[in-house]
Every structure is written in C-alpha cells, then in structure tokens.
Structure 1
Amino acid sequence: SGGDRAETLVARLYADTGRAHVVGITGAPGSGKSTLVRALARVARARGRTVGILAVDPSSPFSGGAILGDRIRMNDLTLDPGVFIRSMATRGALGGLCRAAADGIDVLDASGRGLILVETVGVGQDEVDVMRVAHTVVVVSVPGLGDDVQALKAGILEIADLHVVNKADREGADRTIAELRAMLTLMPAAEEAWTPPVLGASAAREEGVEAIADALEAHLASMKTSGELDRRRRRMVAARVLRTAQGLVAARLLRPEALEVPGGETTTLLDRVMRRELAPHACARALLTRMGERTPDV
C-alpha cells in the first residue's frame, strides 16, 4: 500500500536526517504566515542556505486535498532550485499539522536542505503540535492582539521561542509589541537560558525580516551551547514514536476480528458492552491484552 511504501522510504532516509534546522511558523489565520515564510526563504537563500518549505494547508471539505493557497502565494520561489515547497493537507488533523508532516520533514532533511520552514494552519489552545516537529517555534501575531488573558489561554507564550508582530506598519503595532513583552515577564523562568524576543516586521515589504533570520540563527546557537537542542530532539522523537504507536494500535483495534469473542461465538466485545455486560474500560483493556498476546517481541 501507499502507507507501507512511505514507511519503507522514510526508514531508508532516516539515517541521513538530523542536520537541518526545523523552524515552525504558527499563528492565527490572517497574520501573514505565508508571506513571512516567503520572506525568510528569500533571506536564507541570499545567505547561501538551501530551504525546504512544508506548508500545511486546510483540507478541502469535498476532496480532502489541500487547497494549496500557500504554494500560490510563494510562486516566485518555485523557480529557485535551492528552494523546495510542498503543500500538505491537514485531512482533519487537530493541532494544525497532518500526520505525515514529520515524514515530510525527514525527506527534506535527507535531501540536504539546511533550513526547513514548517507553516501550520493556525494556533489555538490545543493546536501546539508544531512543538513536536520543530526545533524553533515562531508565533506570528498582528496589531490588536486582544485580551491578554485569552492570549495566555491560547498557549501562545508557552510555545514561542520567537514572537513576530507582523504588519508592524499598522496602527497599534508598538502597543502589541509592548504587551507581549510585558506578558513574557510574567512567565516562570525556563530551564533554557534563551529569552524569547519580540520583533516587529512587515513581511510584505520585507522589512524586519533580516532581524528575524538573525534571531533564528541565534536561537539555534543558544540551544547547541546549552544542550537544549539535544533535549528537544529527544522529546520530539519520543512524541513521534508514541503517536506512531497509537496509530498502529488504533488501526489494529479497528479490525473486525479484534472485537470477536474467543470460542467461536457470534457476539463481539462491543455487543457485550452494548448489553452492559462489560464496561468500556474493561473492553479496552481486554483488547490491549489480546493484542499484546498476538504481537511478537521486536
């Protein structure tokens, strides 16, 4: 199947990964993430770096495919052999990142791209999956951030290594920057020595983008010095392995034979739950126990 072929390909490439700096770009819809990604790619190319862009688009409700708006907005980059752009559909995935995003990052990494920019659909209270695939997280805001408490609830401060207030030529930009900096002072001290900067930019005019690129390089250097890069990589690997295992377990449990009751009975475990003979938790444990008995040791 296509999934099996993809798994085989990633397994072959995996030994050649681990060299790229993966940067996640997230923020509310309309904050100009795609424009910022395009501008950062242009700066990186001017500095001699190769770039991979993974743009996670919303899925079409009809076809399930990506709308591909990001690729259209980055059309001028497609003629540059040093830039590779791939749009991927979310296919309904929570967190703004599709399941195949990590595999896509591996392919770009193995191909020798030094900088990989991952743009997510958006950010919210539960949409912080970008932390699981990126070494550096950039949160993009716009003037008029709104209620400070709501911003805290959205988890924006917790996930950001760098804040960018885009469209900084608009009225209220200075206030938004000041509010973000003030809120950062309320955050508990992190183990990492890095303090997330708040930078203003106008990506459409390519103003302030050089400073953002400098901050990304400074964050990578800081993580290497402090050992945070290795710690993050370990957390990312652990999260990916766990998520993959959850997917494999779910796929096996969804097979009809997994729900059959031993002894040739026509009833299933779900039937027993429906008749209130078996509690849902007990059913789940029975399924896991049975699957463990059938799974050979690695």
Structure 2
Amino acid sequence: MPPPSAPPVFCIIHRKENAHEDPIYCCAWAKTAATESEASKEFIVTGGLDCLVKVWRLLSDKLELLHVLEGHTMSIVSVAVSPDGHTLASTSLDATMMIWELESGMLVHTMQTDAVDVWNVTFSPDGKYVATGSHTGNIVIYGIEKGKKECVLDTRGKFTCCVDWSADGEYMASGSVDGVVCILDVAQGKVVHSVEAHKSSVRSVCFSPSCKMLLTAGNDGTLKVYSVTSGSLQATLTGHSGWVLQGVYSGDGKRIASAGADGTVRVFTFDGQSLHNFHEHSEAATGVSFNKEGNKLISVSKDRSINIYQCT
C-alpha cells in the first residue's frame, strides 16, 4: 500500500515592505528560458500609484530591484509580460501604453491613446501583439514590432475593464463595468458568448492553460468559472468579503488564486474548493500571479508590499 501523500503546504516565504512609495496596483511574474550559455531567470514586475514600473530579479526567493522604469505621468493600472519573458507592457491612467525590454529596461514604444482608452493589457501567445480594453467597449490590438494599432474587436458592450488572450490564440475574453463577460473568436473577430457574469464591474478575466475554462472576478465579491465552448457557468467561488480585484490560474491549471479588497489572498482548486486563505496584507490585495510551475505565488497590495508564498 503506497504511503499517504503529504498535505499541501501554504506559507509566506518572503515579504518586501515599502516596495513602492505608494499603493501597488498590479504585478506579473516572468521567466526566461534557459540557453546553452545562460540559466533561466525569473523576474517580478510591479506598478502603482507612484507612476513607476519596477522590475525585480528573483533570486533564492528574494527580490532585488533591477530597474525603475519612468515615463508614465499617472498611476500604473496594468503590467503584462510576453510568454518568452523578454518584453514588458505597462498601461496607465495617463492614456499611454509603453513597451519595454524587460532585462535591459529600455523603452521600445509609447502608444498614445484617447483618454482612459487603455486599462488592462495582455499579450498574444506568440508575443507579437498586445490587447487592451477601451472605454468604448472595444478590444484594441497593437503590434509590438511597430507599436501601431492593428485592429479593433467590438464586444458590443460598455467600458471594457479587463481582457485576456487564450494560450492557443483562438479566443479573447473581456469584462465590462456592467458585469458582462464576452468571449470572442479572434479569427472571426466576433463575440461567440456574452454572459451577465457579475452584479457589478468585472475586475479580471483569465483563461485556463487548457483554454477550456474562463475565470472571472468581480466587484460583487465572487469569482466564476465558465466553459469557453458553451459559455455555461461551471462554478462560483466565494469567500471574499469585498471586491475581488484579480483571479488567476496556476500554470498547470490545477489551482486558482485571487486577490481581494478585504486584504486576503485566497487559493482554490480548479473546481472551486477552498484550499487556503492568506491574511498577510494590512490593506487591499490588488494583484496576484503564479510562477510557471504553479508552486509559488506573489501578491501586491495597497499596503505597498510584495509577498511571495509557497503553495505546494
């Protein structure tokens, strides 16, 4: 008879206090692939009210500041890293999106848009494009090479707060201020499913690594899981006592993590069973991100800290 498996371990392994001078609003975890001459590298990217994007090198579960990226003139609202870990995108309330080389910190492009026309940002699976939501309800796609607008997808909805691109490149998802979530066929450029997912604003949308499920988070305090093919509700995740500001899948798709205005970071199974609640922030937890292996998690907060957790 095989020995029983060890129980899961959830604990905080590093806390970076005062990582920014003001509240931190967003984060991303990046990893570059190993080459013949160089080992893989891991980076944490954060952005906040101080108008700065910071790139941190992650070494032995400790954070070392690598770059402070300046250029935005208002709060950073979203950061994203290309799948290969080499390119960084940041968006701001100053209506600009900036593209950077992550390791060098060099600014590659600045895209000027209409007021509040860039919010959440996501990369295409091949890293050649970025997509953002728009106050008109559209999804706007930009090419990385030229830094120009390539196309616009109409969600037929209101202000698009959040977007995501499936790993197979076939679908995009958007969430709007009225609680509606749309799933779009990228090749056809049209909405295939539209659901009233939340009672108020949708804060984040995230495809599962298998591209079969879509996770949504909203101001109504819930996370929901929808089938991408049918648009049907598969699970509702509860526990937060306020807005859920972000929900993400682990790289293996087995776990879900969420950040809430109640200051908690919560970990669930892929089908919505609660695994652990972290209470390490003194103010709203505003962002979460798993590493590629799915055994570690970071969170950022209005309390200006970055936390790294073990989730094995």
TM-score norm. by structure 1 comes to: 0.27
Structure number with larger C-alpha Rg:
1
Q: Greater relative contact order (Cα 8 A, min sep 6): structure 1 or 2?
A: 1
TM-score norm. by structure 2 comes to: 0.26
